[in-house]
């Protein structure tokens, strides 16, 4: 291909014994995830470092960024529609996914995270959502291949954008908890104590058994409005 890149010279195709002469306007386009530098981190395994002289024969190099959010939303809305998800709440989910992916990409460019969410992965989420009708499950299935810390981080990022998922995550956390930690104003310290909560001086929280929490849930929920902080805990 070098002769073709160097001023449009012709080349001999040895396998067929034919000489090919480029016509006027002939162009060669090539794509490369690593820009010819290979992949040391294994992200694009199988790619190799390319010859610098060969790379230099390409007179123009264009950087293809991810599509703008407006364009990516159009792609995703079409993907949702193709799997039968075109209701208003589906479109709202697509918008949140685009915002989520954009946030992760900005973090990736700043070296805050090691993985990225591609447009293809968003389309995969749309497909999973059409099957399970569960936002959290659809996202989880698309990012399960990442390590646990990254998966948890990405799910947390999404939950900050979607109140529905945040509420579901909170319900799951309390459902699986063994205890809850209560941070209460000093003048109300007698309340959790009267429920049998124990004081953790190191963390400055009251520790309440989950069964006692469930009995007092309505009262605790009301007190959250007055500054109480409630955190579910798996073990003591």
- Model's pTM, two decimal places? 0.64
The pLDDT value given to residue 37? 83
Q: Facing residues of 233 across strands?
A: 179
Residue 65: both structure tokens together: 């960024």
* Cα dist from 21 to 49, 128, 137, whole Å: 29, 49, 55
Is there a contact between 234 and 176 (Cβ–Cβ < 8 Å)? yes
3-class SS letters over the chain: CHHHHCCCCCEEECCCCEEECCCCCCCCCCCCCCCCECCCCCCCCCCCECCHHHHCCCCCCCCCCCCCHHHHHHHHHHHHHHCCCCCHHHHHHHHHHHHHHHHHHHHHHCCCCCCCCCHHHHHHHHHHHHHHCCHHHHHHHHHCCCCHHHHHHHHHHHHCCCHHHHHHHHHHHHHCCCEEEEECCHHHCHHHHHCCCEEECCCCEEEEEHHHHHHCHHHHHHHHCCCCEEEEECCC
Q: List the end-to-end C-alpha distance of the chain, in Å, as a whole number.
A: 67
Structure tokens at 75: 């792609």
The bridge status of strand 229-233 relative to strand 179-183 is: antiparallel
Q: What is the pLDDT of residue 166?
A: 59
Q: Is the CB of residue 115 less than 8 Å from the CB of residue 124?
A: no
Question: Do 177 and 232 contact (CB within 8 A), yes or no?
Answer: yes
Q: Which of 94, 33, 89 is nearest to 69 (CA)?
A: 94
Nearest to 98 by CA among 129, 137, 66: 66
Which pLDDT belongs to residue 173? 66
Q: Would you write out the chain's pLDDT as a tens digit for each of its 236 residues?
A: 666 666 667 888 888 988 888 888 888 888 888 888 887 776 777 788 888 888 888 888 888 899 999 999 999 999 999 999 989 999 999 999 999 999 999 999 999 998 999 999 999 999 999 999 999 899 999 999 999 889 888 988 898 888 776 566 666 667 777 888 889 888 888 999 999 999 998 888 899 888 888 888 888 888 887 788 888 786 64
């Amino acid at each position: 291909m070098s002769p073709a890149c160097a001023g449009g010279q012709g080349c001999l195709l040895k396998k067929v014994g034919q000489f090919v002469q480029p016509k006027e306007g002939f162009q060669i386009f090539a794509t490369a995830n690593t820009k010819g530098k290979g992949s040391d981190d294994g992200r694009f395994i199988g790619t190799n470092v390319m010859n610098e002289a060969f790379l230099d024969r390409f007179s123009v190099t264009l950087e293809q960024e991810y599509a703008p959010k407006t364009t990516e939303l159009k792609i995703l809305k079409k993907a949702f529609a193709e799997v039968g998800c075109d209701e208003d709440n589906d479109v709202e989910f697509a918008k949140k996914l685009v915002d989520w992916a954009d946030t992760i990409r900005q973090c990736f460019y700043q070296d805050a995270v090691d993985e990225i969410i591609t447009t293809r992965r968003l389309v995969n989420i749309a497909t999973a959502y059409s099957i399970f009708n569960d936002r959290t499950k659809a996202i989880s299935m698309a990012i399960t291949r990442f390590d646990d810390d990254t998966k948890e981080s990405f799910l947390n990022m999404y939950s900050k954008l979607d109140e529905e998922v945040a509420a579901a995550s909170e319900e799951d956390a309390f459902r699986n908890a063994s205890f809850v930690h209560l941070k209460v104003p000093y003048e109300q310290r007698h309340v959790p104590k009267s429920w049998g909560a124990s004081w953790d001086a190191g963390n400055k929280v009251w520790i309440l058994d989950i069964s006692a929490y469930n009995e007092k849930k309505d009262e605790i929920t009301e007190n959250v409005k007055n500054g109480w902080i409630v955190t579910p805990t798996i073990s003591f």
